[in-house]
Amino acid sequence: MSADARPVAVVTGASRGIGRHLADAFEQAGYVVERGSSAVADVTDRAAVDRWVADVVERHGRVDVLVNNAGVIDTEVPIHEADPDEWWRTMEVNVLGPFLVTRAVLPHMLEAGVGRVLNLNSGAGVRPGAVASAYNASKTALARVTGSTQLAGQDRGVLAFDLAPGVVRTDMTEAMVAHEDRTEWTDPGEVTALALALASGELDVWAGRMVRAGVDTPASLHDRAAGGLDDADRTITLMPWGDDDPLG
């Protein structure tokens, strides 16, 4: 076990794009960063994930922050034109992967009585998609993983958040038809500032909810929370038709 007292952050999919920005920012903020891309090529490989997390804990004795960033998007076609294998692979990477890494890390956080889990989500998760339906479905499902993680840990010092990064200019977003004419992109610094604030505990009132870089800042979230948050604020929730709705 390392005698290094610095907090430890685990970041999946950190070899490029948003994951690299996040991993670099956590390192610059004083964290020891374990980059999943250099240790686990496939976050859906349960045995590899378990070995990696066990090794991290063996070497450092702790995991303070988990950032589930690794993700993919399916081809931008309507659902009836989607390739079933690609569709399901998108679900596996974007949902099974975060579940497996969280499943491996969470017991150590619970034992320590402290931890923050940040799941890289998307505005696509709050609505159906005319194309790339697996991506939308996977991000909706990821929000449920976040919620379940929050419920499992909230009474033991471990909190979970959905962090939507906006549209950062990356290899993935530049290749998307949806963004081919885009001229304005989310600054990666806005994403990392929000991630570090969530990891620090200063925005714990937003646990179990979605925050969005490029729209939200730590300051704006503090201000909004000061006015009080309803249970459903920034969550994916069924909206009943009224008090007489049996599903309300």
Q: List the domain boundaries for the chain.
A: 8-226
Instruction: Assess whether pLDDT exceeds 70 at residue 189.
Output: yes
Per-residue three-class SS string for the chain: CCCCCCCEEEECCCCCHHHHHHHHHHHHCCCEEEEHHHCCCCCCCHHHHHHHHHHHHHHHCCCCEEEECCCCCCCCCCHHHCCHHHHHHHHHHHHHHHHHHHHHHHHHHHHHCCEEEEEECCHHHHCCCCCCHHHHHHHHHHHHHHHHHHHHHHHHCEEEEEEECCCCCCHHHHCCHHHCCCCCCCCHHHHHHHHHHHHHCCCHHHCCCEEEECCECHHHHHHHHHCCCCCCCCCCCCCCCCCCCCCC
pLDDT tens, 106-153?
999 999 999 999 999 999 999 999 999 999 999 999 999 999 999 999
- Which one is the CATH code of 8-226: 2.40.160.40, 3.40.50.2000, 3.40.50.720, 1.10.357.10? 3.40.50.720
Specify whether 135 is catalytic.
Answer: yes
Averaged pLDDT, 44-72:
96
**pLDDT for the residue 41:** 73
Which residue of the set 20, 35, 139, 209 is catalytic?
139
Cα–Cα dist 173/83, whole Å: 20
- pLDDT band with cut points at 50, 70 and 90 for residue 170: low
Instruction: Give this prediction's pTM.
Output: 0.93
- pLDDT band with cut points at 50, 70 and 90 for residue 179: low
**pLDDT for the residue 168:** 61
Sheet containing 210-212: order of strands: 32-35, 8-11, 65-68, 115-120, 158-164, 210-212
Which residue of the set 87, 135, 161, 206 is catalytic?
135
Contact 19, 11 (CB under 8 A): yes
Instruction: Assess whether pLDDT exceeds 60 at residue 1.
Output: no
Averaged pLDDT, 170-192:
74
Specify whether 139 is catalytic.
Answer: yes
pLDDT tens, 37-51?
667 779 999 999 999
- pLDDT band with cut points at 50, 70 and 90 for residue 36: confident
**pLDDT for the residue 173:** 63
